[in-house]
Each structure stands twice: as C-alpha cells, then as structure tokens.
Structure 1
Amino acid sequence: MNWRITWLVVSHVIGVGLGWWLAFRRGDLMGGLIALFVMAAVAVSWLVWDNFLGYRVMRWMRRGMPDPLPWAPNLWGEVVEVSRRNQRRMTRKTQEAEEKLQVFLEALQASPIGVVLLDEVGRMEWFNLVASEHFGFNGPSDFGQHIINLVRDPQFVKYWVQQQTGNGVVIPGRTHTAQRPVRLTVQFFPYGQGKRLLLSRDVTAVEQSERMRRDFVANVSHEIRTPLTVLSGFVETMQSLPLSAEENGRYLELMAQQAHRMQGLVQDLLMLSSLEGSPHPDLSERVDMASLIRQCVDDASALSEVLAVDAGEPAHRIRAEILAPDAQLAGSRAEVQSAISNLLSNAVRYTPFGGEVVASLRLLPDGGMQVAVRDSGPGIAREHLPRVTERFYRVDRSRSRETGGTGLGLAIVKHIAQRHGAQLIIDSEIGCGSTFALDFPEQRTYDPDAPNAVQRPQESESAPVAAPDVPL
C-alpha cells in the first residue's frame, strides 16, 4: 500500500516539475500544459483501472470467493491471495468445529440418558433419541416447542415452575401402563446464559429391583420366621412341661423337620447367590447327559421311597427316557445336575403316590438338546404359569409347606437355564400333569452320532415329550 502512494506522489511531482520546467525555464507554455495534461490523464487512467480491479475483487469476495480466481495484479492480487488463504483457514476451522460438534452430538445420541437442551424460556433446541423415546417427542417438528406443552405430568410441571435444579422428580414415561410400567427420573441443570439442560433416565428396572429386594427380604423373613416360631414353641413346651419319652421323641422329630426346612432354605439362598454372582459357564467342560439323568432319576427314586414309606403309600414310578445316549452338554455339571434334581424333586413331591415321573433327553431339530421332566400330577392352572419361577411363589402354599418345598427350586432352575443360554418351557394343564423342559442351544450341544444314528429310547418305547408351548 505504501509503495502505491509513494508512486502516485512521485509521478505527480515529476509531472508538475516537468510542466513547470517546460513552461517557465524553456518558455514553452504549451509543452508545460501538455505535460500536465498527460500527467493528469495517466493518473485518471490509473485510478479507473485500479478501481476496476478493486470492483472485480470485491464482487468476487461478495460471491463467496469461488473458483476461478479473478486476475488482479499488484496490490489487488495480494488481496485475492490473502483472502483466499483466510477463507481456507476459516473453512478448515469451521469443518473442524462441525466435526467436533457432530462427534459431541453422536456421543449424546449414544448416551443411555435422555438429553434435552432448552433455551431461556423453556423451548426445546435439541434432544436425543432416548429423550424422544422417554417423552414421545416427534423429531425436528417439536424443536421450538415449549417443554410444558409436551410433558404435562403435574409433578413435572410443578418441578419446572419451582425452578428447582439437581433434586429431580420421578414421573411415568410416555408408554407407561399398569401392565408394563415405565418410570423416569427427570432433572434440570442450568448452563449458558439462562439456558437449562434436561436429563431423563429410565429407573423402571431400579424401582423393580428395589421392590423385588423388599419383597425378597419380606419373604425370607416370613419363611424363616415360621419354622423358628415352631421351634421356639416346642423348646418352650419341653422346658416348661413334664413330657413322656414318646412326647419328647415326637417333639424332637417335629423340631428336626423345621430345622431341616430352614437348612434347605439357606442352602437354596446360597445357591441363588452363587449363581447370580459368578461368571457364566464356558464351553470347556462337557457333561454326559445320559449318565447324569440316570443319576438324578436314581436320587429321585430314593426320595420317593422315603416319602412313600413315611406315608404308607406306594412309591412313584420314575424312569429315564434317553433318546440321545451320546449327547453331551458344554456347561457346568454341578449346575445342570442341580436343575434336573430340582425338577425331579418337585415332580415327586407334587405328584400323588403311585404316579409316573419321566425324565427324558432328546435332540431338537435345530441341533439343540432338550431335557424334560414329565409327571402325572394335578397340573398347574394357566394363570399361574408365568409366575411359578418367581422366588417363593407358590400355587398352593399349604401344599408346598406340607411337601417340604422352599419356594426357590424353579427360581434356581431358571437361573441355571439362563446361565447356559437355555430356555425353560412349562406345559401344564389341570388334571393332565405338567412338563418342565430345558431347551439348550446348539452351541452347547455335542452328539457325535447324531447325524447317522437312529434315535431310539433305551428303557422305554414311549413317544418323546411333546414340545411345550408356554415360554417364560
């Protein structure tokens, strides 16, 4: 810029000096005027040309500096080059900022917490997909809507009006129903110039877990309190009253039964705790399912004989029906044995004496394996089937206590099934008996002879257990 001004001043000085020299030193007034005119014409032409170049550069800049670049020598060429460099620098910074913003928004979208950005008056500027699911927002069409117009829960409105922050409230979600409850915790946090950040989190599982914990503690307390009360009563009776040897023997036998019941309850609770706190079984251990089922059947037969002798009734007819003699399961032998033993024990305890209990093993069409326990007991009403695997749930409480059950057997079976990727399927009907089946997936099933062997029962020619149809 400085050299342009210097060149303009110098050219004017030279032109004025030349005209003065011609006019006053040489006496050539016309020559001096011509020199001054030429100098003025050159200056005007230069100014016109310079303004033309400046106009082209300014028009190019106003159009967003597109390609191709305008031809502009000297100063205007430098202006074009510097502007283009600045444009590239700003474009690069803008792209970097947009990429960072996009990464930030993607992180918010991936968050399991609902996020809503509100302006100074409560209009929604942005929200993620989780918030849309929580509150039922409808994409970009709800941008600019006031939050109170879309979330009208009275507790939420009160929370908004009171301008509280951090404490939060718990409200029902948009899809909340009595059958499928959805509970959300909502909190506001200020940010920026009067703006607020709304965070929502689904606490349905937390509330259900807390409720289950309370119910579990209450049930455990109730289950243990009953035998303790009986034991305390017998102890007090034996301490305060003179009893005969026969009465003492009978009281001690009843006390032993209650103590055994509490011991079984504690063992089942420890088993559940161990199942919930340990990693799932890997695929390294293989279990010979045919021998395991036979062992469980022998144990169930021994239990049936003991119960039958005490009751003076005939024992149950318990047998194994093996359709896949070489089948092996990748999993924990101890856990699978516990699951099968629980199913057989339940069948023995709830099936009338002299009834039939069958433990079967077969391969499934999809390559998996099914272990089923079928009995000829009284059956279970359909309305009870979805809940029979809950802890301490009993269809008939008095009948359960008479048979010595703890109410945790099927809960243990369900946990073991889940840990092995299996599905517990229950098929039962009043008066027609029950079938409890464990369907193990193909990846945990191994049978080297399955592709070519003909599957035949080893101990019976009865038909295999029909596929149950009531999944839990």
Structure 2
Amino acid sequence: MRLWSRELWQLAWLATLGTSIGWLLDAAGLGLASGLAVYLFYQLRQLRALYRWLTLQPHDEPPAAQGIWGELFDRLYRYQKSQRITQSRLRATLARIQESSEAMRDSVVMLDRHGDLEWWNSAATTMLGLQTAHDRGQHITNLLRDPGFISYFNARHYSEPLTLTSPIDERCILQYQITLYGDDERLVMARDITRLHRLEQMRRDFVANVSHELRTPLTVLSGYLETYGDLAEQLPPRLGKGIQQMQEQTQRMQNLVNDLLLLSRLEIDQSGKDHQPLSLGPLLQSVREDALALSDQRHTITIALDSKARLLGSEQEMRSAISNLAFNAVRYTPPGSHITLRWKDNQAGGACIDVEDNGEGIDPVHIPRLTERFYRVDKGRSTTTGGTGLGLAIVKHVLLRHDAQLLIESHPGKGALFRCTFSASRLS
C-alpha cells in the first residue's frame, strides 16, 4: 500500500507542477497534460525495460528501478530463480526415472490420455518392436494389434494382467499390466514370462500324463479288489477288512485322478464350443438329488429359483462346479444342517448361483486360499470325508471359462455362502 501511495503522490506532484507552470504561462491545461505525459513516458519506459528483460535477457539481473517498478522487478526475479531451481530438480528427477527405467528388463511405455505413445525404455524396443524415430505419437493399438490386447486396453479393467505372445516373436510370452495415473494417462508394463509359461506348461503336461498313466493300473486294481470283495465271506476276517480298506483308498485315488484330469482339460481346452443356453432349474434339481444321495438324507437341501434367465455355458462343466460346491456343503456340515441352492438376479444386471449352508462356517483367514489345489482347512477331517482338495480349484477354473467370479463369505458358527457371479453377457 505504501508503494501505491507513493505512486499516487508522484502522479499528483507532476500534475500539480505541470499545472502550476502552465498557469504561469497562461496555459494551465497544457501544463497539466505535460505533467501527465511525463508520468506516462516514465511508465512506458519502465514497461519497455521489463519487456526487454523478459524476452532478451531473462537470466540476467533485473533493470534498476525505483518504487513499484523496482519491487515488481525484484519479485519477478525471485520467482524466476525459484522456478529455475524447481525445473532443475524436476529435470534431475526425470533423468533418474528414465535411467532406472532403462536399467529395467521389463518394458515400460508411457501413454498420454488419448493412448498415444509418449516415451518408452530400450526394453520396449527389443520386446515390443517400438521405434523411436517412427512410433512416437502413434496410438498404442496401431502398433500392438492383437485383438486380445485391444479388448483389454479398451475395457479399462486392469486389475488382472494379460498374457499374450510377443508381437515380434511368437516364441516369447509377455504379460501386460496397465496402470492409470495422472490425467487419465496410462503406464503399460510388459514382462517376459516365457520361462514361467514353459514351466507351467511342463507342470500341466506332467500332471495330465501322470494322471493318465495312473488311471489304468487303478482301474485294474479296483477290478481285482471288487472281485475279492465279492468273496469276502470266504476270506479270513483280517484279510476281508484289508480288502475293504484297499477298495476305499483305491476309490479315493480314482477320484483324485479324475479331478486332476478334469483340471488339466479345463486348463488346456479354451474353446467353449459346447456352450449353450442352460435352464438352471433342472440342473439344480439334478445336483440336489446327487447331494441328497451323498448325504444319505441327513441334510435338508432346498432349491430357490428367483430368476427366469438362462445361462450361456457348458452343462457338463456347470454341473461339475455346482456339484463340487453342494458336495462340499454336505461333507463339511454336521447332520441336520440346511443347504440352499439358489439362482437369482443381482443388482449389476447379471445373475448368480448361491450355495449356502448353516453349518460350522470357515475362519476368514482361510478364504483367500480355498481355491488353491490341495489346500484344506482341516486336513484330518477332509481325509475322512473323502475330499481330494481339488473341488474349489475346479470350480474356479470352470467359472473363469464362463467369465464369472467365485465369492466366498463365511464366519465360524455362521455358516458359509459360495456365490458364482455371472455377467449380463452370459444371460439370455
């Protein structure tokens, strides 16, 4: 405020001086105009100095000036200096980020809000075939043209990574992960998982081959044990009991082999050729009858059909998934428990299959691992109930093939809810 007061006093002084000189010369108006002209000339001169400093010599010391112009020059100079320091720090930070990205073996690609390429590291050049001279500013889908990647990119659901072959080498398997940041910009990372993919394929082949090889001797062994079982009355009691135990364990091994073969088929076969509209009423009724037979009428099992929609999927696979959930409910709940099989609509426009019981429940700490192969909450009890530890893994793979998710809700003493959620695209 003091500077502004000084400028006003300066203007008033020049106007008064000009008017006084003009009055002495009998031209007061001309004198006032002359005083104002002198003040305007001074202001324009300072404005010209500001312009020349900002455009021609922005890094030099500011021009010398008095009053409000001197304060303005000083403030601008301090602001420029702080901005230069900030820009220097940002450039150093960006340089370190680029250097660290260059050192990474994974591809890193930065996209703007429109999906156009802004920057990428050298690994992206080797892994994705991006060329600095030609590809900068291009849309990512113009260069990575795999339909799977385009769908993944446009869907904007990046919680799970995408696995595809490399666009420049079909022998190389890449895993893409996209992250949103800033003003709707995207960071694309690609990792070479060829070795892990081959190890996983070797594991699948090993399990499938071992399962096939075990199937024949188990069938032969089961046949002979069944024959000896028919002659149990003619055998000593101890031998008859041993044959019965061998039959039980052979049957358990056969169930395990069958589940392993089913898992291998679900992992390898991704065709979905047998998918067709399914009516869930008859399917749930069939599963209920099988579950009652397993329960030996010791449980109450009901069906609730709260949706008229049909599900597009494989009847055999869906029967396997629902049966596993229902059979688990029978095995792991005490006699007298109530089990409900429900088909209903959900708020997202899709539908879901619920298998709910009022049994002992499951500690939430186990829920994240329930779909792992051979994972058991109570290993001793699972052995006595005949479980293989593969049922929920089969359910998970079946639902993945049907674009669905498995949600589990349970607490000790409050029963358990297993919900298979299907999107609207799977309904008819």
Q: TM-score, normalised by structure 2?
A: 0.49
Q: TM-score, normalised by structure 1?
A: 0.45
Instruction: Report which of the two structures shows the higher radius of gyration computed on alpha carbons.
Output: 1
